[in-house]
A and B are shown apart, each in its own frame.
Chain A
Amino acid sequence: MDHLAEKQYYFVYTFLEYVTFTYLLFQNMNSRTVARVVAIISIPLLVFQILYLVYAQPKLLDSVPIGVYTLFMLGYIFYYFYRVLMSQVSVPLYKQYTFWIAIGILTYLSGTFFFYILINHMPKSQIRPYWFITYIFDIIKNLLFVVAVVIFTRSTQNGSNKPVTNHKTPFLDFN
């Protein structure tokens, strides 16, 4: 694979990974606003990645877009956790498959963040011995995803709680 093709491959891989993780995280949230905000954020990120691919000359990987995507993904995950904490759902966290997806993504991104950021500054001789770090976190992520899949297949759809709407009281005073 020549250098340009390799860059294009990494470009597509990074973007697809971001899209897949974002979809997995938010697909169960049922919020149009969140979906719209994520879509609006993703467009400039994609533009930035294309510009980086065209103008920057990374040695091996597109470290900067990976770092930026990772930071945004971490932001999404923290938002997801915030929503989970604020929700009144009584189902324990470990019984929600999205929780396992979120910690899978979080563990993978956290574990590989420094490796991908520093990879272009490392001599090639040092990269190979440390590549195993990404494998370890990839395996952990996949195992956590398996747990999510098992929970998803076992879970049954329950009815949702309808929100109570407020209303004004009518005229009830004197005369």
Chain B
Amino acid sequence: MFLLQATQPSTGIPFVLIIGALGMVVLTASIILLLVLHQRKVSRFNARMQEMEKEQQRMLLNASIKLQEEERQRLAADLHDDAGPLLATARLYLNENLVNQDKATQLQSVYQARQIIDDTIQLIRNISHSLMPPTLKNFGLESAINDLFQKISGSGSMNASSRFHDYRERLKTEKELVVFRIVQELVSNILKHSSSSFIHLTQNIHENKFFLRIHHDGRGIIQSDFEKLTKSNIGLGLKNITSRLRLIKGKILFEKDISQTYYKVTIELPKDEPYQ
């Protein structure tokens, strides 16, 4: 109405003009202010997210260092408590040999020392195998996982099976080891916490990505639980999985089957160039 009145050539026009221009300027300024405030809010939110990301990375690093230290302690304990006394005993037998000149006793002590050295060799071999499974090194991930699952199944506590659909081209050795360690950690968690009756692993390749999926019918976790656990102070194994996956640029997804009967863990990683 005011505008209609203003369209008549009268003295009201300059007033409308000034008020209109000022109104538009105020509107413009408000829009700009709103935009700037919104962006500042978004920037603050992004900064907070970055801070949280850094915190999580720090926790992952701590977990990985802690795990490494535990592994070293275990190795040190194995060497000190088992290999050390065995070798000391073998030394005693050999010393005895130097002192005792009796032929029969000497033979007896040499035989004993040889037995002890054989045991020590076996012990060191076991330690070495726990560091790098020979099946994995010699025959690859498929054989190592099949071997692991056969051992679980053989114990009779759980039905375990694995199937590789497309593993004609092996991943790089170091990548295979990381994947194997992740599978070991997941399987160990399932054995410890899930009370499931079976565990099944499948592998496939799709769009140049390598996929591994583990199914089990026990108690499990979903993605939100996994994220919560990796951000908390507990869940060292899960943190270790995350840091290992980060190393090979992989992803992990914990979910429940659509039938709500099984839990699924899917590992996805970029496929390598063919193994040389």
Residue pair B9, A123 in contact (C-beta under 8 Å): yes
A95 to chain B, nearest CB (A): 11
Residue pair A126, B8 in contact (C-beta under 8 Å): no
Task: Find A170's partner among B24, B27, B35, B204 (CB 8 Å cutoff).
Answer: B204
CB-defined contacts of A81 to chain B, threshold 8 Å:
31, 35
Q: Which of B14-22, B143-151, B234-242 lies at the interface? A: B14-22
Residues 120-153 of chain A: 1 if any B CB is under 8 Å from the residue's CB, otherwise 0?
0111001000100100010000000000000000
- Given that A167-B206, A171-B165 are contacting pairs, would A93 and B36 also be in contact in the complex, using a CB cutoff of 8 Å? yes
Closest to B32 in A: A103
A75 to B69, CA, bound (A): 62
A20 to B20, CA, bound (A): 25
Interface residues on A, range: 20 to 34
CB-defined contacts of A111 to chain B, threshold 8 Å:
21, 24-25, 28
B6 to chain A, nearest CB (A): 7
Residue pair A114, B268 in contact (C-beta under 8 Å): no
Taking the complex as formed, is A110 at the interface, i.e. its CB lies under 8 A from any CB of chain B? Answer: yes
Residues 205-241 of chain B: 1 if any A CB is under 8 Å from the residue's CB, otherwise 0?
1110101110100000000000000000000000000
Residue pair B204, A171 in contact (C-beta under 8 Å): yes
- Given that A114-B16, A167-B206 are contacting pairs, would A106 and B21 also be in contact in the complex, using a CB cutoff of 8 Å? no
Task: Find A167's partner among B13, B16, B200, B209 (CB 8 Å cutoff).
Answer: B209
Taking the complex as formed, is B202 at the interface, i.e. its CB lies under 8 A from any CB of chain A? Answer: yes
A170 to B46, CA, bound (A): 34
CB-defined contacts of B163 to chain A, threshold 8 Å:
175
Task: Find A93's partner among B35, B46, B200 (CB 8 Å cutoff).
Answer: B35
Taking the complex as formed, is A92 at the interface, i.e. its CB lies under 8 A from any CB of chain B? Answer: yes
Residue pair A110, B27 in contact (C-beta under 8 Å): yes
Task: Find B31's partner among A106, A122, A123 (CB 8 Å cutoff).
Answer: A106
Interface, chain A (partner B; CB < 8 A)? 81, 84-85, 90, 92-94, 103, 106-107, 110-115, 118, 121-123, 126, 130, 133, 137, 167-175
Interface, chain B (partner A; CB < 8 A)? 6-9, 13-14, 16-17, 20-21, 24-25, 27-28, 31-32, 35-36, 38-39, 43, 46, 163, 165, 200, 202-207, 209, 211-213, 215, 266, 268
List the 9 closest A-B pairs by CB distance, nearest first: A114-B20, A170-B206, A110-B24, A172-B213, A170-B204, A110-B28, A172-B202, A121-B7, A93-B39
